[in-house]
Structure 1
Amino acid sequence: MEITGTINHGVREKHVAVFAFPFASHPSLLLTLARKLASAAPNVVFSFFNTETSNKALFSDQLVYENILPYNVWDGIPKDYVFQGKPVEEINLFLAEAEEEFRRVLKVAEVDIGLKVSCLVVDAFLWFSGDVADEMNIPWVAFWTAGASSLSAHFYTDLIREKTAELKGSVRPEDEIADLIPGLSKVRLGDLPSGVVFGNIESPFSTMLHKMGRALPRATAVPLNSFQDLDPDLTKSLSSKLKNFLNIGPFNLMSKQTQSLKSDDEFSCISWLENKKPRSIAYISFGTTFKPPPHEILELAEALEETKTPFLWSISKDSEKHFPQGFLERISANGTGKVVPWAPQVQVLEHFAIGVFVTHGGWSSVLESIGVGVPMICRPLVGDQQINTWMIESVWEIGVRIEGGTFTKHGTRCALEQVLSGDGLSERLKEKIETLKNLAHKAAEPNGSSNQNFKTLVDVVTGATL
């Protein structure tokens, strides 16, 4: 068992265990929450349970936290296992062993630290941890890393399935728009997360989310990375069903630490933006986990070139082979575009030159865009990105979905014109997102709603309210 920190900060009074879901951005967001809690409660020791690979990425030599100790749980991958290329194969292997593994290592940590665990703070995906907390007779804090709309879809899954049963026979049921979720007047069925109505609803991942939705009313608190004024009606609905439903975000505004230790010196994104016209640049990034298929990368590149839209595109090196022939040479020669394997996203979005964010609609990216007032063009890929895109286009009206849901030259051209043209729609998008930006910043102020909610959460975690 590798431990990369030592507790020497005051007297250890309590021991809080933190269970991570070790995929995509989930562990880093949970660690951000753990760091905030550890800072607010310096005499509490936090044991952070995660896979070895994920822990190594989070707890580097430069990032050691005095009262947070990482513990490794098995990822569920047998020795000499050969991956078969099935969807979410790695996740399914982890889920098959997760409960037993977390229980096992929890006992190790209690002996190691010398304190019984007094509270569980977990990624809400790990619904079984509610049973663990019940058995230990301690508070269960289930953290939702995304927004109220996606959480509502999983919380109200049984109700949604009941309401949509009669729509299954229609020609294109995914295009049906209906009143399905309390607090959300309408939503397109096809924008609900996969596994709620469509997709493999019996898969381990879908089953996990369904069980999570049913288990959440037992939680002592359900914090989420959002702010109250973004979804007031959804917040009101969920608050009536869940104890201590607490909007404690956006994390990108609440946490002052830099987003990465990585420097922009190597790729010079910010200096490249310096001499560009205000609000003229399209910033393009689809996160680090998924990406559009090769033919869509080609269509997007061709649309950017044909429309002469200046852009900064963060994309992995191995995806560059899908660009049109000579694309990189031409954009470099005429200065219209820059392609990098990594960009300091928050600093890029904050730059005056950025006029639109072309994104997958992942929740952290959505909050970062709202936080700086940059409208979005969305091409959702997986998970909550579909319903996030519905909210962006149809509820908050701060961006547009790419026509047909996939990149084509025509659809991309239309979307770029809509957002960057400066006409009526473009101005409305900017006005709407500017309003949300101000509300987000207000929530993150010392006396704002998110900070007040965080204080409530600290009381729950430390036992001050019990």
Structure 2
Amino acid sequence: MTRHKLYRHPLLSSHLHSHPLPKQTKEMEEPREPHVLILPFPAQGHIKPMLCLAKLLATAGLRVTFLNTHHNRRRILHCGPSISPSSLLRFESISDGLPDDHPRSLERIEELFLSVKTAMKAHLREFLLSKSAEQPVTCVIADGIMSIGIYIAEELSIPAISFRTFSACCLWTYFCIPTFIHEGKLPFPDDDLDKEFHGLPGAEGLLRRRDLPSICRSQVNGNSYRNFKDENIAMTRACALIVNTFDALEASMLSHLATIFADIYTIGPLHAMAIESNVGHFSGRSESVGSLRIEDWSCMKWLDSQASRSVVYVSFGSLVKITVDQLTEFWHGLVNCSRPFLWVLREDAILGEKEENVKSLLLESQVTSETRCVVEWAPQEEVLAHPAVGGFLTHSGWNSTLEGITAGIPMICWPRMGDQQINSRWVSQVWKIGLDMKDTYDRSTVETMVRILMEDKKEEIMKSMASISALSSDSVGPEGSSSKNLQRLIETIRKISQTVSH
């Protein structure tokens, strides 16, 4: 492989490597046909944007293999029709190394991480070697927390690109955490999470301790931090970085990331890019997102009966769990607002409760009525696009944040983990398109937040949202920055595919 230039980042306590694109040598024979392997982390929030990318690359004429785990492939097929395979987009799967009855839940996520790094890594190597006799993979696009994709690609002399499925502001913060630790800012010396936090370039005067990613609340010598650090370092071994965002949304954070990565491709919002392409076998919305859960479309009929911009849509994503106390407080807060609401409440969403108990709780609350509707899973893009929806109570996952922006729906943010804490701060303080309710959930606060969003500051927040949403739409248009960056990425993939040895 080409010898790579060392890039030095001034904020990091160690040197990280960013690999520029290899150049084609004179000794190369006929160029390889590009064949891209896309490797997502096996969770809904990671699968969706990477599947959107797979669809876009295949639409552009590249051969793409989307590699799920056996477990998630079975779940997708169980949920009904998804993308039909074509000559350019194939779906394959390998084992994640866990037994079939393993819950793969948030509470046992470290078991999944460990199995990915060991058993799944071996299965990935075997898979790529088997492909070398058929249609060799010429480029691996690996999820930013799937370092196995970077390392196995490097071992087999295949160019690799890293894909981070969350915001640029979170990624930049992640890369600064080693410096925070070195300077003694982490771990926090006391429990005052409201204390201002200084030291993140591009965000001075913006952050409190509670706004930092959830990893900052854990022990810096624990397994979670070590995994996080290893994955970040592995990302810098790739020849480029893809981020699901758009230039106008996170220009400042992207400029800081450019000090670490030589090549960055901002091609978001990817779900909007996929809708914009809307061609051939891949047309449609929810049919093409590879959902791990069955979507209940009955809520759309319920929305049809509601007044314009009157409904609060509530969803805390595919992994977050809440307690019965939190469920009760949110429920009463929403009811007290006297506004209709649609709530996505998974059967596995209540901590410590069996599914039948959750069903009983919902039945006791008279789930569906003229003013309230509860479903286990919803077609979120369609829900947010419905004219009856006026506000979004969300966990601030990046997919949900981008979907809210695209639809122009202001948000109340209740973040729980990962990137969600810092996303919610950007929503409320940088973009001013919503409110931040992190670390509290009492019914009076819920009621107050909904009234502020839907009544008191409705015009002010909607004005900001209209501006941001228009920029999002522009970015995925024919002459938009994300569209141009996608074309640039496609050209790069074609170029680096020619460097793979025969």
| Global fold match (TM > 0.5) | yes
Q: Is 2:479 the partner of 1:447? A: yes
Equivalent positions of 1:12-51 (< 5 A) are 13-42=33-62, 44=63, 46-51=64-69
The Cα of 1:160 is off from its aligned counterpart by 2.6
User: Which one-letter code corresponds to 2:74 in the other structure?
Assistant: K
- What residue ranges of structure 2 are gaps of 5+ in the alignment? 1-30, 276-282, 348-354
* Equivalent residue for 1:192, pick from 201, 212, 228: 212
Q: Is 2:436 the partner of 1:388? A: no
**Identity rate of aligned residues, in percent?**
27
Residues 207/298 of structure 1: CA separation in 2 closer, same or farther (3 Å cut) = same
The match for 1:258 is 284
Equivalent positions of 1:200-215 (< 5 A) are 200-215=219-234
User: Which one-letter code corresponds to 2:258 in the other structure?
Assistant: S
Query: For 1:142-195, what per-residue CA distance to the aligned partner results, in whole angstroms no more than 9, with x for missing partners?
Result: 0111110121122222123234437732442x3332233333333223332233
Q: Is 2:366 the partner of 1:328? A: yes
* Equivalent residue for 2:245, pick from 226, 232, 235: 226
The match for 1:3 is none
The match for 1:123 is 143
The match for 2:91 is 70
TM-score, normalised by the number of residues in structure 1: 0.86
- What residue ranges of structure 1 are gaps of 5+ in the alignment? 1-10
Q: Is 2:254 the partner of 1:235? A: yes
User: Which one-letter code corresponds to 2:35 in the other structure?
Assistant: H
Query: Any idea what SS the aligned residue of 2:399 has?
Result: helix
Query: In structure 2, what is the Cα distance between the partners aligned to 1:385 and 1:277?
Result: 31
Query: Any idea what SS the aligned residue of 2:415 has?
Result: coil
Query: Any idea what SS the aligned residue of 1:36 has?
Result: helix
Equivalent positions of 1:256-405 (< 5 A) are 256=275, 257-261=283-287, 267-317=297-347, 318=355, 319-323=358-362, 326-328=364-366, 332=369, 335-402=370-437, 405=439
* Equivalent residue for 1:101, pick from 120, 123, 135: 123
Query: In structure 1, what is the Cα distance between the partners aligned to 2:118 and 2:311?
Result: 45
User: Which one-letter code corresponds to 2:131 in the other structure?
Assistant: A
Query: In structure 1, what is the Cα distance between the partners aligned to 2:106 and 2:387?
Result: 42
User: Which one-letter code corresponds to 1:100 in the other structure?
Assistant: A
Query: In structure 1, what is the Cα distance between the partners aligned to 2:164 and 2:441?
Result: 30
The answer on whether the counterparts of 2:396 and 2:423 sit within 8 Å (CA) in structure 1 is: yes
The Cα of 1:454 is off from its aligned counterpart by 0.6
Query: In structure 2, what is the Cα distance between the partners aligned to 1:292 and 1:354?
Result: 24
The answer on whether the counterparts of 1:127 and 1:212 sit within 8 Å (CA) in structure 2 is: yes
Query: In structure 1, what is the Cα distance between the partners aligned to 2:304 and 2:105?
Result: 46
* Structure 1, 426-435 or 54-63: larger mean CA deviation: 54-63
Residues 78/358 of structure 1: CA separation in 2 closer, same or farther (3 Å cut) = closer
The match for 1:433 is 465
Query: In structure 1, what is the Cα distance between the partners aligned to 2:124 and 2:419?
Result: 26
* Structure 1, 255-264 or 176-185: larger mean CA deviation: 255-264
User: Which one-letter code corresponds to 2:178 in the other structure?
Assistant: D
The Cα of 1:365 is off from its aligned counterpart by 0.8
Query: In structure 2, what is the Cα distance between the partners aligned to 1:399 and 1:79?
Result: 40
Residues 180/441 of structure 1: CA separation in 2 closer, same or farther (3 Å cut) = same
Q: Is 2:140 the partner of 1:110? A: no
RMSD of aligned Cα (Å): 2.9
TM-score, normalised by the number of residues in structure 2: 0.80
Query: In structure 2, what is the Cα distance between the partners aligned to 1:289 and 1:85?
Result: 6
Residues 62/386 of structure 1: CA separation in 2 closer, same or farther (3 Å cut) = closer
RCO higher in 1 or 2 (8 Å CA, sep ≥ 6)?
2
Query: In structure 1, what is the Cα distance between the partners aligned to 2:302 and 2:104?
Result: 41
Query: Any idea what SS the aligned residue of 2:332 has?
Result: helix
The Cα of 1:243 is off from its aligned counterpart by 2.0
Query: For 1:86-133, what per-residue CA distance to the aligned partner results, in whole angstroms no more than 9, with x for missing partners?
Result: 54133333333333232122112222x2x4332111111122433333
Query: In structure 2, what is the Cα distance between the partners aligned to 1:26 and 1:416?
Result: 29
The answer on whether the counterparts of 1:221 and 1:460 sit within 8 Å (CA) in structure 2 is: no
* Equivalent residue for 1:161, pick from 166, 181, 200: 181
The answer on whether the counterparts of 1:295 and 1:322 sit within 8 Å (CA) in structure 2 is: no
Q: Is 2:448 the partner of 1:414? A: yes
User: Which one-letter code corresponds to 1:457 in the other structure?
Assistant: L
